Structures are given as C-alpha cells and as structure tokens.
Structure 1
Amino acid sequence: MPSLSSSLNLGDLCILRLSALGDVCNLVPAVRALQKQQPGIKITWVIGRAEYNLLAGLEGVDFFIYDKKSGLAGMRALRKEIMDKRAGKPFDVLLHMQAALRASVLSRFIPAKRRIGFDAARAKDNQNWFVNEQINANPNVRVGQGFMDFVHYLGVAKTEPEWSIPVPEADQAVAKQLVAGLERYLVISPCSSFRKRNWRNWEDFVGWAEVIDYAQQAYGLTTVLVGGQTELEKNATAQIIKHSQSKILDLMGKTNLKALLAVIDGAELVIAPDSGPIHMAAARGKPALGLYATSNPARTGPWLDDYVVNRYPEAVAKYLKQPLETVAWGQRVRSPNAMGLITSQDVIEKLDLIAADLKLKKLSPKIPTRI
C-alpha cells in the first residue's frame, strides 16, 4: 500500500516502541532520517523506562515513559498524561513499531489519526487489528532496516544511519574516571538480559578467558567487563576472571547506560552476544564483535556486521534439523547448547580482523591454550 502522503508534511508524529535496548538503538536512525528531511518535525516517543534512560535528551524528541509492570492502569494513566499535555489533540501519525500484544493494546490508548504498523509478514500478535495502515512488505531484512521501512513509507528518502545519542558531561566524567590508567582497552559484555527459552549467552568461560588473554598478549588490550549485578552476571564475571591470566577491569554494575556509552566511546571494540551493548557499539561507531548462534545476525545483528561470529546456520542444522533456507525469517534456535558451537578461535579470528582494520600493532602471534 503506498503512503497516503503526497508530500512530506507529517505534522505531529508519535512513535510507539517500548523495548529493548538494542531495538531502540536501532530505531534512532529512523528518527534522525525524519528530522533530516523535515526539520522541526514534532516527534513524541512512548518508551520503556530503561530504554528512556539510554536515550534521554535525544534532540527533538519528547518522551512518555510506560512502565510495563503497570498494566492497564498504567495505560489509562499514560493516556491521561498525553491528553492533558496535548489539550486533547490527537497525533497526526502513530508509528506502531512494536509487534507485540501488550504494545498493541497500549496503542489504543494513544490518540492518533493515522495508525501505521508493520506489513502482514511482520505484524505479529495480530498487530494489524490495531492499525489502519501497514508499511510496504520488505522481507528478510534486519531489525534496524525494518524501522527505516516506516519512514520510507512516509516518504523519507533513504540515507545512511545516524545516531548522535547524547551523553551528559557528568556521565562522561564518570566513565573517564573508571577507565583511568588504561591505555587501550576492549569492552566485553558477556551476558544478555534473561528471556525465557531464549539462550543467547556464550557460557564457555574458559573460551572468554582465552579471548581476553589473547587480546592482552597480542595487542596490549585490557578487557573491561560491563553489565549488571544479577546472579547470572556475577557468576559469569567470577568464572571469567578465574580462568584468565590477564588484568581485567570489572565494571559490572558500576555504570548507568549513559556512562556505558562513554566507556564504549573510549574502547577499541566491543564483544557481546545478541544484546544491547553490541548495538550500542554500532551506534557509537565502534567495531561490534557479536556472538550469534541462537538468532540470525542477518536479522538481529548490528548495523555493520562484518565482524559477527555466525554459528546460526550450524545451530539450525543441528537443533532444528532443517536447512537454513527452509526456516522462517527470524526463527530462534531454542536450545541451551547452541551457543556452545562458538569457539574461542572463532572470536579470535574476528578480533584479528578488527585489529587489522584498526591497524593495531601485533605484539605476539601466540594464541593461549585452554587452562
């Protein structure tokens, strides 16, 4: 279905995307593309609380925060907040950019004239019931491109992705103090957020240690571990440090999301599974060495995925018993063992590729053996 706009004069636009950290990172280029083509456009974004903490201060965007734990009462409160602030005026356009039932129910509490959702193939959980327009079909694209499809539908020209996520000076100062004394470092975020039956973590702690030791010995890179303070993360941190022979800076639970962006700014690269930090790295223009086996990096990988370790095809063959070309786009491999297909040698090979592109001098060719 073609756009109903004959020219780009979109008026007052609202985006609905609550989560997750990586996804909201991938949505920012669509916002920047809108702003670039229609300067002064009024953009409102309904977003989750943690995601807001990452994007707070985004130029030209007003945020409304919805707490997913607040249920229907929170949805009614959000509608009242929106209506009070806007004196009852509906948005000209609502971009419903989260194909999930909770988000779709929430969308009905947001007043809008045009309600635009994904095309039929991407409109999961019956999202099409909650919108009056759908974007054009564009099969088998990554998540970030899916968000760009919304603004292309509205008539925005194709453009290179831009982010410019602001980091306050106070958070920059915190990050600078935390990494003080490190000449060159890489960031590792070993754990993704917990989701039921969605195994994305590489739990080969000896393998992590081998990568860390190799980075130190071969390129003089100190590893900085980042993440939260869940029991899963505490255990991963303890195991990685136990098996490594290198100096490691443990920043687990010591940064907020803005300070983490600043820590990433000073890093040579970021290594992580399919999670927020890998997309935050791409947003900061840093090499993102993503580790993928249970999800397809062609769909969920960072914008520039030249360095991704991709064991998804092998995982599909081994655990789904199907050829890659026969599985649905975005199909997850629901096996806790799939990430074990990744080896430390896989990661080291990509690290060498990044180091060559960054023109890092190699100090030692030795690859550490298992401890």
Structure 2
Amino acid sequence: MIKPRGRRIGLIRLSAIGDVCHAVATVQALQRHAPEDDITWIIGRTEAALVSDLPGITFIVFDKKQGLTAFRNVLNEIAEPFDVLLHMQVSLRANILAAVVPAKAKLGFPKHLSKELHGMVVNRRVPMPETPHVLEGFQHFAYALDVPTFAPTWSIPISEADQAWVRERLTAQKPYVVIAPSASNAERNWLVDRYAALANHLQYRGYNVVLTASPAPSEVALAQQITALAGSNIINLAGQTTLKQLLAVVADATLVVAPDSGTAHMAVTQNTPVIGLYAHSNPNRTGPYRFQFLTIDAYQKNLQHLFSNSAKSNKWGVRLKGAHLMEDIALSEVIAKADEVLSEAPNPSDHNS
C-alpha cells in the first residue's frame, strides 16, 4: 500500500540531552496522530547518538564544531521546503539555523518564552501557558498541528547489544540505584561527601550503587572521589558508557539520583523514578517530568534570597548562579526521599528468590 502524502514537517531541537528527551514525546505524538506526515528532525551530533534510530523519522545532524559548514550541510540535505517548521529552541545558533531553513510556515515560542531574536525567524507563535514545564511547552507545538491533548510517552529503541553490555557488568543478584552526580555545570553538582554518604546508605539497604558520568575528565574525577570516599563496593561506570548503554543502565535501575542533567531525563523516558537535586534551576520548569514530586527543591529558597522582590525573581525559568547553593540540599532530605521510593520497591533480598 502506498503511503498517502502528508505534510513535510521539519523540527529544530539541537540540544541538550534532556530537552531532546522532552521533544521525543511530542514527535511520537505527532507520528501517532498523522502517520502519513514526513518528519525531519535537525539535531546536534551528540544528541543524535541517543535518538537517531527512532523509527519513521529522518535525522539531519548539525555538528556545531563545523562552524558555517554545519549550516551548509544541513541545507544540502533538505530537498524541498518544509510545509511546517517546528522551531523548538531559542538559542542564537538555533535561531540562525531556523532563519535559513526553507519552510512555508515557521512555528516558534510565544514572546514571553523567547530570546536571542527568536521572534524574527518565525512567522507564527504557538500559544503556551505563562509558566510551562519545558516538556509541556513542546506539547503545544503538537497541539498547534491539531494533535489532541496527550500524556507524554516514549519509545526509544535499546538494542540487544546494549542490553547485553549492561547485563555483563551488572549481573549481581541485588538490584541497583544509579547516582549520576554530574550536571553540565560543576556548580550544580551536589557535595562529594554527601554523594558518598548516600551511596553507603543505599548499600546498607541492600542495593548496589552504580555511578555514571560522561567521559569528561572532571566528571570521571568526581565519580572517582565519591568511590574513594564511600569506602564501599560502588560500581563505577563513569566515562564508560555510550548514551544508548546509559539508557539501558537507567532503564533497569530501581532509582536514579541526579542533579539537573540529561541522565535524569533519560530515566524519565524509561519510567524509572528520579530524585532530582535542584538549587540553580527551577524544577517546575526543568525537573524530571512525572517525578517532580520526588525533587529536592532548594531553588525557590535561593531565588528569594538572591533576588528578593526584584523583577528578575518573577522571570520564569531564571537560572541562579552560586558555587554554594547545592549545600542547601541536606543529606537527610535525600536519604528520606530515597527511603520513600525504595520502601515501595521489591525487597533486594527477594531479587533472585
């Protein structure tokens, strides 16, 4: 049967990992609603490694390291103008890209959620609430294309090879908790001694503890510091996983504990509970979706302390800066929240019975 011709839909969401995870839910809702549409996603090179095998989507990789060549390469892969371009990013680089990508209609964010000349490169603004979670903002792009209201779901392929890689390294009888200690900015990391104490507590409860991180030297070093300080048999996978292998790791975890990071949002796509540790960014905007009720939120307190009654404190999603803000997240808070989640999980001693 010949597939009926639908709309040619382009989508720009280059980065970051967490935002790409949010975007997947919207893209797959579009596919379910109108499977005849052709969707092309322009995406960053790193992020493509996680989702470029999503079925039914054409991916064009934008490699920012190539400079101007990256823009030319994208244009060379677009055979004809899109009917609709969903411009789902407000960074200057993404806005420049949206300006040159040919499309009959270019949909973007409303004024109160825009910056970096976003409004100049779109010809239709998508109505959104004043204070949406990032994922909910993305949903409104689908609603603008007549997709009915939907609850976000995800289906990101994990190969048998990646699942086998995890089984080879995590074959112990006990279930495990993932601690992903690193955020993209080091000041958003929790304290080393508190991570180590949490790991010891989790092991006392009968769980293995798995550390994950990117190959960045600072992230690998942080994981090594936690392992040394904990003095227990932590499984340190920092710097050893591909994004797909990391997805397989969090998919089988009982719980993930992480600051504002891609790993936290990857866990959400696998329906793995996440305790988010937030002091610099608003968890109501960027917290692990579905699991915001588990978040330890030091952001609201710090927002009021730093800005008091200034107008900036009323700007949705304002990021805070400060090397000591994460100190406001107490070890006891995180342990209590972890115990709450684990009390509803199967007993580790019953894992192989």
| Alignment TM-score, normalising by the size of structure 2 | 0.93
* Corresponding residue SS for 1:140: coil
Q: Which runs of 5+ in 1 are unaligned?
A: 1-8, 364-371
| Structure 1 residues 122 and 57: CA distance shift in structure 2, 3 A | same
Count matched residues.
345
Q: Which residue of 2 aligns with 1:33?
A: 29
| Structure 2 match to 1:69 | 65
Corresponding letter in the other structure for 1:184: P
Correspondence for 1:6: none
- Partner of residue 133, structure 1: 124
Superposed CA offset, 1:100-133 (max 9, x none): 1110111122111111100111121120100111
CA 323–124 in structure 1, closer or farther in 2 if over 3 Å, else same:
closer
Residue aligning to 1:368: none
Structure 1 segment 344-355 matched on structure 2, within 5 A: 344-355=331-342
Question: Does 1:42 find its partner at 2:29?
Answer: no
Once the two structures are superposed, residues 11-42 of structure 1 have per-residue CA deviations (whole angstroms, 9 ceiling, x without a partner) of 11011000000000011110111111112321
Q: Distance in 1 between matches of 2:129 and 2:187?
A: 27
* Matched residue type, 1:309: I
Within the alignment, does 1:109 sit opposite 2:95 as a pair?
no
Pair 148,134 (structure 1): closer, same or farther in 2 beyond 3 Å = same
Could you tell me which residue of structure 2 aligns to residue 232 of structure 1? 218
Partner of 1:108, secondary structure, is helix
**Percent same amino acid among aligned pairs?**
38
Superposed displacement of residue 323, structure 1: 8.3
**Whole-Å Cα distance in 1 between the matches of residues 262 and 313 of structure 2?**
28
Q: Deviations over 1:279-305 (max 9, x none)?
A: 000000100111001111000011111
Alignment match, 1:300:
286
Secondary structure of residue in 1 paired with 2:284: helix
- Structure having greater relative contact order (Cα 8 Å, sep ≥ 6): 1
Which residue number in structure 1 is paired with residue 83 of structure 2? 92
- Aligned counterparts of 2:59 and 2:173: Cα–Cα separation in 1: 36
Aligned partners of 1:319 and 1:338 also within 8 Å: no
**Cα distance in 2 for residues equivalent to 1:290 and 1:111:** 39
Shift of the 10–303 alpha-carbon distance from structure 1 to 2, 3 Å rule, reads farther
After superposition, what is the alpha-carbon deviation per residue over 1:310-354, rounded to whole angstroms, capped at 9, x for unaligned? Answer: 111121133333489943110111111111111111111110121
| TM-aligned CA deviation for residue 238 of structure 1 | 2.1
Tell me how far 1:357 sits from its aligned partner.
3.1
Name the structure 1 match of 2:189: 201
Q: CA–CA distance in 1 between the matches of 2:137 and 2:54?
A: 21
- 8 Å CA contact 2:17–2:262 kept in 1: the answer is yes
What SS does the corresponding residue of 2:22 show, helix, strand or coil?
A: helix
Are the structure 2 counterparts of residues 20 and 330 from structure 1 closer, same or farther at C-alpha, using a change threshold of 3 Å? same
Secondary structure in 2 aligned to 1:272? Answer: strand
1:238-257 counterparts in 2 under 5 A? 238-257=224-243
- Identify which of 188, 191, 194 aligns with 2:182: 191
- Stretches of structure 2 that go unaligned for 5 or more consecutive residues are none
TM-score normalised by L of structure 1: 0.89
The residue type paired with residue 203 of structure 2 is Q
Deviation at 1:92, TM superposition (A): 0.6
